[in-house]
Amino acid sequence: MPTFSADVYQNEFLPDGGTDVHAIVTITCTGAGAVGQAGAGDAAELVIVDTSGSMDGENIAAARTAAAAALDQINDGVWFAVIAGSHEARLAYPYGRELGMVRMDAQTRAQAKAAVAGFAADGGTAMGTWLTLATRVLASVPSAVQRHAILLTDGINQHETPEQLSAAIEGARGQFQADCRGVGAAWEVAEVRRIATALMGTVDLIARPEDMAADFEGIMRAAMGRGVAEAALRVWAPQGAQVLFVRQVAPTVEDLTARRQDVNPLTGAYPTGAWGDESRDYHVAVRLPAKVVGQEQLAARVQLAVGDEVLAQGLVKALWSNDDTLTTRIDPAVAHYTGQAELAEVIQDGLAAKAAGDSDTATAKLGRAVQLAAETGNEEATTRLRKIVEIEDADTGTVRLRRSVDKLDEMALDTASTKTTRVKK
């Protein structure tokens, strides 16, 4: 069994009558990469490729190569299948089955690669049908406790209603994880992010078709290194306390608050998905009943659990004091990630306002983003923002919208908005 550890970073001192406690909890997993997906019936992989008419040309050619590259990374013994998606979903491999998966070996790999080599672009786009078929196909292998998919698209979900897509997303939620990619500039980041967020995966831009194969290969290689199929972050808070929020803040920002499942009246479990050898940071905020100077209380117990087994634990504390030098200090990790979470929000809000023609709001939001990127040392975000705005003063967030902006630059900023820089603790 891989090992987990938990480290807590916080300022535990609260002023007289103070209520809110914030902490960053770093969970580190080691040994999962050595276990990986052993292929003993415990893992299933799907490759879902957009084959709609808009993919015609270099996109579909690159998708054939990328799908083959992903298939090459799947370990022997792992269950797998390939779905071709247009205005309807089709099980491209294995052949002759309405639903089903096969185990990877030399023969099935060759057959699957032959199937993707025959992909042709035709039809419309209805991603909900892809997700619904994916859910059914993965359910055909009940022994697979770890289920993962790569989903590629190049366009907008035009051939089904928003309600149909939402229903398909809800049907897939909790059934598998999906890393989603969009190629080119004709897809909607918010639409694909909604799928990736619900399915606990990533969303990113593939600006050039020739980069697709390397991206697919990397995604599948990472999936093969996840030796822990599913883990949950458990947060206990004392009677009378309120858990304000639980957010993953590194390597990406992801609000887990609404995903809480009650373990008991005082403990909630928040899904974290599969793990490889990695560290993730979580921001936990708890509101306690106000107490007077000198009192001390355990504010939260944060645990990493696999099934019913708790493998790591960190304690969040509260100590009321009248020493202003202690109570006014903000822990550097908390400050850093609070800024990073706001940065993601204002970038997305600013780009949405810009697309809607609201230049004043876009300027204000993106100016705040420039300010936050400077404060948190997020140089990558600053570089991307410079392609959208002219920065006059980063410290004050004074910017001007650029008149001519490449759509791909906007999409790159949007997809990267939730990626955070790690704080030096």
Average pLDDT rounded to a whole number, residues 273-299: 96
140, pLDDT greater than 80: yes
Cut 0.85: pTM above it: yes
Q: What is the mean pLDDT of the chain?
A: 95
Tell me whether the omega of the peptide bond preceding residue 238 falls within 30 degrees of 0, making it cis. Answer: no
pLDDT band at 98 (very low <50, low <70, confident <90, very high): low
pLDDT at position 79 is 95
95, pLDDT greater than 70: yes
Check: CB of residue 36 under 8 Å from CB of residue 287: no
Identify the top-confidence range among 35-39, 99-103, 230-234: 230-234
pLDDT at position 199 is 98
Check: CB of residue 260 under 8 Å from CB of residue 270: yes
- DSSP secondary structure of 31-51: SHHHH----SS-EEEEEEEE-
323, pLDDT greater than 80: yes
pLDDT band at 39 (very low <50, low <70, confident <90, very high): very low
Share of the chain above pLDDT 90, in %: 94
**CA distances (Å), origin 236, targets 68, 233, 263, 268, 319:** 45, 10, 9, 7, 18
pLDDT at position 308 is 94
How far apart CA 285 and CA 3 sit, in angstroms, is 26
Residues 6 or more apart whose CB falls under 8 angstroms from that of 267 comprise: 234, 235, 236
Check: CB of residue 286 under 8 Å from CB of residue 316: yes
Residues 6 or more apart whose CB falls under 8 angstroms from that of 283 comprise: 22, 23, 24, 245, 246, 247, 249, 334, 337, 338, 341
Average pLDDT rounded to a whole number, residues 121-132: 98
Structure tokens at 112: 């699957």
Structure tokens at 12: 């535990």
CB-neighbour burial class of residue 62 (10 A; exposed 0-12, middle 13-18, buried 19+): buried
pLDDT at position 217 is 98
How far apart CA 231 and CA 180 sit, in angstroms, is 21
Check: CB of residue 236 under 8 Å from CB of residue 300: yes
103, pLDDT greater than 80: yes
pLDDT digits (tens, 9 = 90+) for 188-215: 999 999 999 999 999 999 999 999 999 9
181, pLDDT greater than 50: yes
Check: CB of residue 119 under 8 Å from CB of residue 57: no
pLDDT digits (tens, 9 = 90+) for 385-399: 999 999 999 999 999
Specify the DSSP element, H or E, that contains 215: helix 212-224
38, pLDDT greater than 60: no
Mean pLDDT check: name the lowest of 64-78, 83-97, 159-173: 83-97
pLDDT at position 423 is 79
98 or 170: which leads in pLDDT: 170
The neighbouring-strand residues paired with 278 are 29
How far apart CA 400 and CA 391 sit, in angstroms, is 7
Long-range contacts of 411-414 (CB under 8 A, 24+ apart): 411/182, 411/185, 411/189, 411/205, 412/205, 412/207, 412/384, 413/347, 413/351, 413/381, 413/384, 413/385, 413/387, 413/388, 414/189, 414/190, 414/347, 414/348, 414/351
Map residue 417 onto helix, strand or coil: coil
Tell me whether the omega of the peptide bond preceding residue 94 falls within 30 degrees of 0, making it cis. Answer: yes
DSSP percent split of the chain into helix, strand, coil, nearest 5:
35, 35, 30
User: Would you tell me how many other CB atoms lie within 10 Å of the CB of residue 191?
Assistant: 18
How far apart CA 71 and CA 113 sit, in angstroms, is 7
pLDDT at position 34 is 74
Average pLDDT rounded to a whole number, residues 305-334: 96
pLDDT digits (tens, 9 = 90+) for 245-265: 999 999 999 999 999 999 999
> Between vectors from CA 376 to CA 370 and to CA 380, what angle results, nearest 5°?
65
User: Would you tell me how many other CB atoms lie within 10 Å of the CB of residue 118?
Assistant: 9
pLDDT at position 171 is 98
Check: CB of residue 168 under 8 Å from CB of residue 86: no
pLDDT band at 143 (very low <50, low <70, confident <90, very high): confident
Average pLDDT rounded to a whole number, residues 59-75: 98
Structure tokens at 60: 């579909």
Average pLDDT rounded to a whole number, residues 56-82: 97
pLDDT at position 40 is 46
How far apart CA 412 and CA 187 sit, in angstroms, is 12
Average pLDDT rounded to a whole number, residues 308-324: 97
